[in-house]
Structure 1
Amino acid sequence: MKIDRLRRRREKRASHGRIGLGRVILMALLVLGTVLGVALATSYQSVTADLPDIDEMQPVGLGQNSRIYDRNGKILGYIAGVTNRTEIPLARIPVDLREATVAIEDKRFYEHGGVDWVRIVGAAVRNAMDSGGLRQGGSTITMQLVKNLYDPDAPRDFSQKIREAHLAQEVERRFTKDQILAKYLNGVFYGQNSVGVQAASLTYFDKPVWAINLPQAALLAGLPQAPSAYNPFVNPKDATTRRNVVLQEMADQGHITQAEADEAKASDLLLKRGRTYERKREGYFFDYVRQELIDRYGEQRVQNGGLAVRTTIDPRLQRAAEQAIAGNLGQEGDPAAAVVLIDARTGYIRAMATSREYGKDSQFNYAAQARRQPGSTFKTFVLTRAIADGINPYSTVYDSRPIDINDPRWGPIQVATYSNSYRGAVPISQATLASDNTVYIQMTLDVGPERVVDIAKKMGVQSDLPVVPSIGLGSGEVTPLEMAAAYAPLANGGFRVKPIAMTDLGTGIPKGDLATPKRTRVFQDGVAYEVTRILRDNVTSGTGGAANIAPNVAGKTGTTDDYTDAWFVGYTPR
């Protein structure tokens, strides 16, 4: 009996001791909570006293990739930046992804006014009891948005948390919950250079975000907390664990059933490395447009400005140009070839093709960058200059003979025909059909090499040209793009047009800021008519016979020594 009473007294004292210890812990927590509450209030007043109104603060421009399209609106590719981002409306973001994000990042998102005080105090208590330091976060989605948009480089200390809390409440008063969530989902970093859910989905799954399923949505929702640690390409096991945590949170909070969560957890990661931001169609033309944009607007604006660039390239004509090259010079070991097609009325570049596979053989654009001697195609500028000066190409006769002149202005000049055969007295028109070098060197000397250069420049040649007699035979170096543009005045009655690759940039830059078609008269339409008449005969009866594949084609061939380069520049007059 005595033993039982002693046992009961000990148990009673132990019980009182446990109750007493519980009361002490409870009192300590209450005191700690009170102290923290006072400290928070004091800190809040101190930190926010001098904060500007959020309307006075400039949000960080997140930017997004610019896109380049063909003339029909089909995308050619994205211009790469430091990060990839494509903004989309909330309506295109799956409900699963929205709910997964709220579940794992801020489960009381729709209940608080920007700050989850319960979460902040709880995090502060846990951190205080764990030797100090703000290791457990209390940031809401709105607070994270504030950090990303207004203070991305601020130090991560307690004062900054208070600052974010204050600004978050300002944001909540100005935007709806849906607007805040949309801004967050379009602006948070998901790893792999991807900012926003669309870029992340294209990167991890190679599909737009509206096409992903529940387990994929959960995977994305789990990435922002630690994008590198949970990168599924690098750490698939950790990524799977994190995804499953998100799925369980969704089930616990009633967004999905437990059965749905379990089924999704059993799923593979369903990864497919996307190349959307790397892939290009018409790579040479794409790079040409990109460089033109950078030259005009600067690299930063082009990479991050979100431009939607409508170009002039015509897919049908581009395919035709590529097929023409492949059918003639498409074999390994063949010389490099290039084709440029320009609309002579507007200057719009409709095709730009080369024989080299972009990114494999080279990224050098033979159509726009390769400066080569154009050979006899340059005789057209001599002919145009002569006719513009009033010389009749049918009655004016030159002597087709070997040329050996020692001119003090130019030094020794020796010119022969390719075949070493000569025609004697021959009108300019016939000399053109035969592409007679000896006649054209005499014509160049008569009209003046400097005036040949002048007319070539006025018609559209941009490259520096030597002012020498041999310029009339094509001794300068030009690009195919320049030559296509320079023949355009012959096709449209004497008006020069500048090559144009873009017609619209979408939002952000007025359409009028682009180079719109501008026609500048270089010579009278009668000059264009007479030159075209001779160049048409050249196609039907002269050296350009291979181009006689359609009515009214006019043009001129050109070859350089040892067939190093071979050209044809032609057009159909309007």
Structure 2
Amino acid sequence: MSRRERQRRRRRNRGGPARIIFLTFGVLSALGIVGVLSAVGYVVGIASSGPELSTLKPIEQGANTEVLAKDGTRIGFIQSTILRLPVPSTSIPKIVEDATVAIEDRRFYEHQGVDFEGVIRAGVKNLQSGKTVQGGSTLTMQLIRNLYTEDRSDDFKRKIREAKLAEELENKHEGAQGKKWILTKYLNSVPYGTVGGQNAYGIQAASRLFFDKRARELTLPEAAMLAGLPQLPSAYNPYQHPQRALNRRNDVLQAMANEGYITQSEAEEAKAAPLGVKKTNYFTERREGYFFEYVRRELVRKYGVERVRKGGLKVYTTIDLKAQQQARKAIAERLPNPGDPSSAIVSINPKNGYIKAMASSRSFGESKFDLASQGRRQPGSTAKMFAIMAALRRGVDINKTSYDSKKLNFVDKETGTKIEVSNSDGGAYGGRRSLFQAVVSSDNTVFQQLALDLGPDAVRQAAYDMGVTSKLDAFPAEVLGGMRNCCTVLEMARAYTTINDGGYRIKPIAIQRVRFPDGKIDNSLGKTRRTKIFTDGQTHEAIKAMEANVRSGTGTAAAVPGCPTAGKTGTTTGFADSWFAGMTSNLTTVVWVGYPGSRVPMTNVQGWGTMFGGKAPAAIFNSFMTMAADRGTCKEWPKPKEPFVSSPFFGRYAKSGAPGPAATPTPGPYDATTPGTTDTGAGGQQTPDDAYEAPPQQAPPVATPVPAAPAPDPAAGGVTPTP
């Protein structure tokens, strides 16, 4: 071996270990670079596979549906599993913002959506503890999850996509104002926990749920407690785990001190305070429970149960809370004793159909059944106005057309029905009597004969057209209120409003408008819907008769001082129901009195004795309308634009009278306390026997057209009038 060869071998041997180390480092570095590049490529690939922020729409977040009275006072919230009351940034105190940032994302004002330092710190702590104790997600990343993805999986890919979207969101909302926007959105959407099956989302709902106060009223320890909940709402729930909640709150306070938001002494003082949580009925309490439920049913009918459950609606109603109080006060004053019958009132503005009052003597806690909108009771003699309107539509002059007032006991050949009718409680009769006078005296026998002459179908059709939605059978007795499943106080109020509104049937309106979470306004429920049914000349004739009823007939107790008042009393057989349906020119109001659930005779009511429509119902009407009717708009009814024109009317009983003995007129003035009896006309003189509309003649070959009866509506349990 040559000398040179030996030297080369020695150099090769001396550099062996170093060379190996160098080569190993080179290989590892290359592998590391490849690994890093692969990891970067992997992350970039995952991020690229996710959607762009611009292609995402914020998820519609559930919230409470709030129902408001006419003056904006909250009536209540429609129950939902989600409690959310979004508020502007001006309603969120700085201590809430500071507490949230200190415990959730202390570098919030420094990073651009992703806190790499926080991710590394969280990773180290998780490795040290052997479990996940920090997530590394920023407030912006959490907001992305709440607003756009709702992905709750603990997945690396999800974190990468959230980080990308968070950066895009921060770029979209830059600077201090952008941070304010993000923080406000976060505080309005983050979950704070569940109480009683309801989940509080957002700081305002949480503040109400845990402290029964608005967010702007939170104290430092209260704000700190709430700020500590979003990380683990169940584990830190102060009702279920008060000690954990206290410890967590104190951690938040210390974090605030560490970050310089408060002093250490302020933190120590706040730590010494009790939790101070307070259970509340804020989200469950309701005013005007019956009307509230009526509104809820209207919303479900319009939008469907799922949309209503999702919530987020703001519902502006027509109800006048002052009028509600006046209605209950009127009932309480007239029926103040234990054991007195119940009462219900509905009052409608005839110009637009707005329900001003819908009240009853019952409390919602006592029974969920609404006497005003759900209780179907026989309407007694208030149903007689259906026959009057059917007659006026046909051209019958109620001032000239007359019948014998006398006890009836015969079989009507046209209907094949046994007719056995007397005036109330066997009361007196008035001889020959015009229909106008029969309204004033509420004469059963006259109206029964009129219904037979018109035909029970025509009377039923008039009731439908006036707004009755319950199913009617066209029995002859229905003209006297003898109905199987009719009517509600709301139905009767609608029917009488048709008379008050010059012949327009109007849809009762409880909801003026609805605002959706996106700001869209739906005014359709508050749109006044009017359908012309009668001429104003026809309704004017009916109003004049009902004015006379209040002035000198069965309804004198209802007269409203200073307001022209019209109305009709109603009392059913056996005195199980009594009514007054009346109006001023600016308000239609119907009152019912009776015992709910059964037909209990009201024959010995304290202070009233036997309960007629002219007693407590008329008196309640008077008390309510005296307070509720606007005297400034309470005027005489206007003269009709289409004056009433009579047509010849041939009636079997108007012509010759029903079979039976002639009646002996009752002398003297009319007794207003006994509906169903009659007087003898103006000045106590008997009406002439030939006072029916015209000499007997055949009925005209073509009757006045009558709108067709609407088809039964299964949802309403009866018949719904045409729109």
With the length of structure 2 as denominator, give the TM-score of the two structures. 0.72
- Measured after TM superposition, the shift of residue 318 of structure 1 is 1.3
Write the deviation string for residues 276-331 of structure 1: whole angstroms up to 9, x where unpaired: 21111111111111211121112333344532222111122111111011122354
1:141 is aligned to 139
Q: 2:369 aligns with which of 364, 367, 370?
A: 364
Q: Does 1:284 align with 2:290?
A: yes
User: Is 389-398 or 38-47 further displaced after alignment?
Assistant: 38-47
1:468 is aligned to 475
- Measured after TM superposition, the shift of residue 185 of structure 1 is 0.4
1:119 is aligned to 118
Q: Does 1:482 align with 2:525?
A: no
Give the secondary structure class of the aligned counterpart of 2:453: helix
2:528 is aligned to 517
Q: Which amino acid aligns with 1:463?
A: S
1:57 is aligned to 56
Write the deviation string for residues 124-182 of structure 1: whole angstroms up to 9, x where unpaired: 34434655x75531111111111122222452222222222122112211122111111
1:547 is aligned to 558
Task: Write the distance in 1 (CA, Å) between the matches of 2:33 and 2:247.
Answer: 37
1:180 is aligned to 182
1:392 is aligned to 397
User: Is 157-166 or 303-312 further displaced after alignment?
Assistant: 303-312
**1:92-107 to 2 correspondences below 5 Å:** 92-107=91-106
Task: Write the distance in 1 (CA, Å) between the matches of 2:100 and 2:141.
Answer: 14
Q: 1:330, 1:355 within 8 Å by CA — same for their partners in 2? A: no
Task: Write the distance in 1 (CA, Å) between the matches of 2:90 and 2:499.
Answer: 53
Q: Which amino acid aligns with 1:207?
A: K
Q: Which amino acid aligns with 1:553?
A: T
Are residues 424 and 104 of structure 1, via their aligned partners in 2, closer, same or farther at CA, if it must alter by over 3 Å? Answer: same
- Measured after TM superposition, the shift of residue 121 of structure 1 is 2.3
User: Is 325-334 or 36-45 further displaced after alignment?
Assistant: 36-45
Write the deviation string for residues 532-560 of structure 1: whole angstroms up to 9, x where unpaired: 11111111211112212333111111111
Task: Write the distance in 2 (CA, Å) between the matches of 1:296 and 1:369.
Answer: 19
Task: Write the distance in 1 (CA, Å) between the matches of 2:64 and 2:416.
Answer: 54
Q: 1:329, 1:355 within 8 Å by CA — same for their partners in 2? A: no
Q: Which amino acid aligns with 1:503?
A: Q
Q: Which amino acid aligns with 1:194?
A: A
Q: 2:62, 2:82 within 8 Å by CA — same for their partners in 1? A: no
Are residues 100 and 281 of structure 1, via their aligned partners in 2, closer, same or farther at CA, if it must alter by over 3 Å? Answer: same
User: Is 539-548 or 259-268 further displaced after alignment?
Assistant: 539-548
Q: 1:187, 1:195 within 8 Å by CA — same for their partners in 2? A: yes
Task: Write the distance in 2 (CA, Å) between the matches of 1:255 and 1:126.
Answer: 25
Give the secondary structure class of the aligned counterpart of 1:505: strand
Task: Write the distance in 2 (CA, Å) between the matches of 1:445 and 1:40.
Answer: 94
- Measured after TM superposition, the shift of residue 351 of structure 1 is 0.5
Q: Which amino acid aligns with 1:455?
A: A
Give the secondary structure class of the aligned counterpart of 2:437: helix
Task: Write the distance in 1 (CA, Å) between the matches of 2:45 and 2:193.
Answer: 36
Q: 1:64, 1:303 within 8 Å by CA — same for their partners in 2? A: no
Please give the root-mean-square deviation of Cα atoms over the aligned residues, in Å.
2.3
Are residues 92 and 515 of structure 1, via their aligned partners in 2, closer, same or farther at CA, if it must alter by over 3 Å? Answer: closer
Give the number of the structure whose alpha-carbon radius of gyration is greater. Answer: 2
Q: 1:170 aligns with which of 147, 156, 168?
A: 168
1:572 is aligned to 584
Q: Does 1:110 align with 2:109?
A: yes
Q: 2:513 aligns with which of 504, 509, 519?
A: 504
Q: 2:321 aligns with which of 315, 324, 327?
A: 315
Write the deviation string for residues 82-129 of structure 1: whole angstroms up to 9, x where unpaired: 211011111210000000000000001111111111221232344346
Q: 2:454 aligns with which of 443, 447, 451?
A: 447
Q: 1:503, 1:516 within 8 Å by CA — same for their partners in 2? A: yes
Task: Write the distance in 1 (CA, Å) between the matches of 2:248 and 2:211.
Answer: 17
**1:248-327 to 2 correspondences below 5 Å:** 248-327=254-333
Instruction: Give the structure with the larger helix fraction.
Output: 1
With the length of structure 1 as denominator, give the TM-score of the two structures. 0.90
- Measured after TM superposition, the shift of residue 34 of structure 1 is 9.7
Q: 1:43, 1:162 within 8 Å by CA — same for their partners in 2? A: no
Q: Which amino acid aligns with 1:383?
A: I
Are residues 38 and 230 of structure 1, via their aligned partners in 2, closer, same or farther at CA, if it must alter by over 3 Å? Answer: farther
Task: Write the distance in 2 (CA, Å) between the matches of 1:304 and 1:37.
Answer: 47
- Measured after TM superposition, the shift of residue 348 of structure 1 is 0.7
Give the secondary structure class of the aligned counterpart of 1:52: coil
Q: Which amino acid aligns with 1:400?
A: S
Task: Write the distance in 1 (CA, Å) between the matches of 2:35 and 2:337.
Answer: 78
Q: Which amino acid aligns with 1:443?
A: L
Q: 1:134, 1:157 within 8 Å by CA — same for their partners in 2? A: no
Q: Which amino acid aligns with 2:182?
A: I
Sequence identity of aligned pairs in percent? Answer: 45
Flag structure 2 segments of 5+ consecutive residues without an equivalent: 1-28, 586-636, 638-723
Flag structure 1 segments of 5+ consecutive residues without an equivalent: 1-29
Task: Write the distance in 2 (CA, Å) between the matches of 1:162 and 1:330.
Answer: 70
Are residues 37 and 288 of structure 1, via their aligned partners in 2, closer, same or farther at CA, if it must alter by over 3 Å? Answer: farther
Are residues 104 and 34 of structure 1, via their aligned partners in 2, closer, same or farther at CA, if it must alter by over 3 Å? Answer: farther
- Measured after TM superposition, the shift of residue 404 of structure 1 is 2.5
Number of residue-to-residue matches in the alignment: 543
Are residues 214 and 40 of structure 1, via their aligned partners in 2, closer, same or farther at CA, if it must alter by over 3 Å? Answer: farther
Q: Which amino acid aligns with 1:301?
A: R
2:568 is aligned to 556
